[in-house]
Amino acid sequence: MTEPAATTPAPPPVAGRNWAGNVHYSARARHRPTTLDEVRRLVARAERVRAVGTGHSFNRLGDTTGDLISLAGLPPTGTLDRDRGTVTVPAGLRYGDLATRLHTDGYAVANLASLPHISVAGAVATATHGSGRANGNLATGVAGLELVTADGELLTVDRTDPRFAGMVVNLGALGVVTRLTLDVVPTFAIRQYVRLGLPRHALDAALDGAYSASVFTDWRSDRLDQVWLKRHADEPAPPADWLGTRAADAPVHPVPGMPPENCTIQLGEAGPWHERLPHFRLGFTPSSGDELQSEWHVGRADAAAALAALEPAAGRIAAVLQICEIRTIAADDLWLSPNYERDSVALHFTWIGDPAAVAPVLTEVEERLAPFAPRPHWGKLFDRDPATGYPRFDDFRALLREFDPAGKFRTDELDRYFARD
């Protein structure tokens, strides 16, 4: 694998704020090292340090008053192992850049998130996901990790290590991940169809309607607005009356009023997996960034009941909402994954960029979802104590003590959830 041609402008060395602009980093110094040895020296001498990816987290989990390190300056080359079916890549590489190179070599990763703009390490560390009943989140495709530990030493772990399931979704709290080894599969083609006006009772069937499926609603109607179906190219198109919907006759954007040109190609035209599985094109800005996001995962069997529990709040949700997306993710064994041992449905809310207006609605959504043991997406906004939803929470706290006894990678937000002994 070789360095890709530029597809979008390179990010600044280390930005002073996240992508949405609602978090301004508190770091005393920012670094963009160009070698692994430089990363090791920075970590070893720092009192507090964190790695930052592409800034697509909406909370302060990754903020630090110490040193902030971007890994985007490390060499972008990867190593494809055809015999083992893996690729080893630098942590700061974006999924979109990895995907174009993998496809050229005849390979793919099993799934992608809605944005191809996010870094591999950042997405994995927060259990970011795509959709599909048989598809795990992106972290489930990790076969190995290389990380710089608190003393600056380099540690490599893989699935043979009994700690591995606790180290993949790591929130950046165990060290600075510098390389990841990912499972790959032969490249494949996808056709994307958009259906409109889904009856609510057909939600479960819709989520099973494709290799990857997403349902969108603005909470203003008794029907769900859009269903994005991403089917293998050799599968038939949905029939004209599929689940009581109608076919979109032109490309659409999930957020009303946004340009569909930013989105991946629809209308059933076949194309490479990496140009259909995300919702947005790598060469375009998906939105203005003037937004906030929250997401909670509930058990797949509870999806309809969870939506019904939110229905009395529909008007209040709609008043501060841009769009809500519903996706499904397969169960896994990763300790801090929202899908740990539970097939899940993710309820994702893209809010307006007004924290004061959003806050009380976010709280109400969490309260209404509480009977379903919701697990929040680690990179989004939430109030709920996550310890109540993760059975291996205390096991991860033990890993924190093992890898970072002095709290070098700690942040105020981490301390809220993982209290020190």
Q: Give residue-wise pLDDT tens across range 213-239.
A: 999 999 999 999 999 999 999 999 999
CA 139 – CA 375 distance, rounded (Å): 16
| Residue 394: other Cβ atoms inside 10 A | 11
CA 266 – CA 29 distance, rounded (Å): 44
Greatest extent of the chain over all pairs of C-alpha atoms, in Å: 63
408 within a domain of the structure (yes/no) = no
Backbone φ and ψ of 313, nearest 5°: -100, 10
**What is the domain-level CATH number for residue 159?**
3.30.465.10
CA 310 – CA 271 distance, rounded (Å): 37
CA 59 – CA 124 distance, rounded (Å): 16
Q: Which residues contact 42 (CB under 8 A, 6 or more apart)?
A: 31, 33, 49, 67, 69
Q: Which domain holds residue 107?
A: 74-186
| Residue 113: other Cβ atoms inside 10 A | 21
Q: What is the pLDDT of residue 271?
A: 98
Count up the domains in the chain and report the number.
2
33 within a domain of the structure (yes/no) = no
318 within a domain of the structure (yes/no) = yes
Statement to judge: residues 177 and 218 lie in one domain? no
46 within a domain of the structure (yes/no) = no
**What percent of the chain lies above the pLDDT cut of 90?**
84
Torsion on CA atoms 2, 191, 264, 352, rounded to nearest 10: -120
The gap from C-alpha 190 to its chain's centroid, in whole angstroms, comes to 21
Q: Which residues contact 314 (CB under 8 A, 6 or more apart)?
A: 219, 220
Q: What is the pLDDT of residue 260?
A: 94
Q: Give me the chain's average pLDDT, please.
A: 93
3-state secondary structure of 164: helix
Q: What is the pLDDT of residue 5?
A: 38
Statement to judge: residues 143 and 234 lie in one domain? no
Q: What is the pLDDT of residue 288?
A: 58
CA 114 – CA 131 distance, rounded (Å): 9
| Residue where one domain finishes, among candidates 186, 219, 237 | 186
Q: What is the pLDDT of residue 403?
A: 97
Q: What is the pLDDT of residue 357?
A: 98
CA 272 – CA 335 distance, rounded (Å): 32
Buried b (16+ CB within 10 A) or exposed e, 215-247: bbbbbeeeebbbbbbbbeeeeeebeeebbebeb
> Which pLDDT band, with edges at 50, 70 and 90, does 167 fall under?
very high
Residue 82: burial class (beta carbons within 10 Å; 0-12, 13-18, 19+): exposed
| Residue where one domain finishes, among candidates 186, 213, 237 | 186
Statement to judge: residues 225 and 334 lie in one domain? yes
Statement to judge: residues 162 and 200 lie in one domain? no
Q: What is the pLDDT of residue 289?
A: 67
Angle between helices 303-310 and 355-369 (to 10 degrees): 130
The gap from C-alpha 240 to its chain's centroid, in whole angstroms, comes to 33
41 within a domain of the structure (yes/no) = no
**pLDDT at residue 4 is higher than 60:** no
Statement to judge: residues 82 and 226 lie in one domain? no
> Which pLDDT band, with edges at 50, 70 and 90, does 384 fall under?
confident
Q: Which residues contact 419 (CB under 8 A, 6 or more apart)?
A: none
DSSP-derived secondary structure for 319-343: HTEEEEEEEEE--B--TT-TTBTS-
Q: What is the pLDDT of residue 45?
A: 97
Q: What is the pLDDT of residue 1?
A: 65
| Residue 109: other Cβ atoms inside 10 A | 21
Q: What is the pLDDT of residue 13?
A: 39
Statement to judge: residues 127 and 182 lie in one domain? yes
Statement to judge: residues 197 and 180 lie in one domain? no
Asked whether the CA dihedral 157, 158, 163, 167 is positive or negative, the reply is positive
34 within a domain of the structure (yes/no) = no
Statement to judge: residues 175 and 204 lie in one domain? no
For residue range 6-41, what is the model confidence (pLDDT) as tens digits?
334 334 435 688 888 888 888 999 999 999 999 999
**What is the domain-level CATH number for residue 314?**
3.30.70.2520
15 within a domain of the structure (yes/no) = no
pLDDT: is 267 or 21 the higher one? 267
Q: Which long-range contacts (CB under 8 A, 24 or more apart) does 373-376 make?
A: 373/298, 373/299, 374/296, 374/297, 374/298, 374/306, 375/296, 375/297, 375/298, 375/338, 375/340, 375/344, 376/294, 376/295, 376/296, 376/297, 376/338
For residue range 43-102, what is the model confidence (pLDDT) as tens digits?
999 999 999 988 888 999 889 999 999 999 999 888 999 999 999 999 999 999 999 999
Statement to judge: residues 107 and 255 lie in one domain? no
CA 283 – CA 99 distance, rounded (Å): 13
For residue range 327-344, what is the model confidence (pLDDT) as tens digits?
999 999 999 999 999 999
132 within a domain of the structure (yes/no) = yes
Statement to judge: residues 216 and 333 lie in one domain? yes
Statement to judge: residues 328 and 196 lie in one domain? yes
CA 116 – CA 282 distance, rounded (Å): 6
> Is residue 91 within 8 Å of 180, Cβ to Cβ?
yes
For residues 171-193, average pLDDT: 98
Statement to judge: residues 79 and 119 lie in one domain? yes
> In the structure encoding, which two tokens stand for residue 234, read together?
């050799």
| Residue 311: other Cβ atoms inside 10 A | 13
- Which residue in the block uniquely carries the two structure tokens 């706290």? 397
| Residue where one domain finishes, among candidates 135, 163, 186 | 186
